[in-house]
Amino acid sequence: MADLTHFDEEGRARMVDVSDKAETARVAVARGKISMQPDTLERIRLGLIAKGDVLAVAQVAGIMAAKQTSQLIPMCHPLAITGAKLSFKIVDPGEVDIEAVVKVTGKTGIEMEALTAVSVAALTIYDMCKAMDKTMTIGDIYLVEKLGGKSGHYRRS
């Protein structure tokens, strides 16, 4: 297992120094899901949620979250994201699958930004539908793939 880089020699938390690392093109893909009552999903599909277009708002929220990850996760570096895309797949009887693809040319990875995008998109769906469905469950958030950087290409099997 790799050494934990967010701790110094004395065991104290630190932000990793990436000053000497080369900039490379990096991409991360993350996925997650939110499960709900079939009627809630049908109302989302038909655009009948009083707060508006749930998936459009969740898409914007996910992109905004990716850009703000360093404000939420203490040891993340602020990154100049060059691309962020969220997509949704409606799965019957009551599930929305969420995928984020986030890109950067930089000195450190973009995985946390992709994971944060998926998480906040799911939370936004929850927020917009909670008045009619308190049984919703957010889960299975994971890294699918990452490209670039010293550790190279990773793809979840």
Residues belonging to the active site? 127
Q: Which of 62, 72, 49, 68 is nearest to 136 (CA)?
A: 49
Match 């690392």 to its residue by tokens: 21
- CA dihedral angle for residue 129, residue 132, residue 137, residue 138, rounded to 10 degrees: 10
Residues in the chain: 157
Strands of 11-133, DSSP E: 24-35, 83-91, 95-106
Tokens of 146: 């990452």
Instruction: Look up residue 70 and give its two tokens.
Output: 């360093």
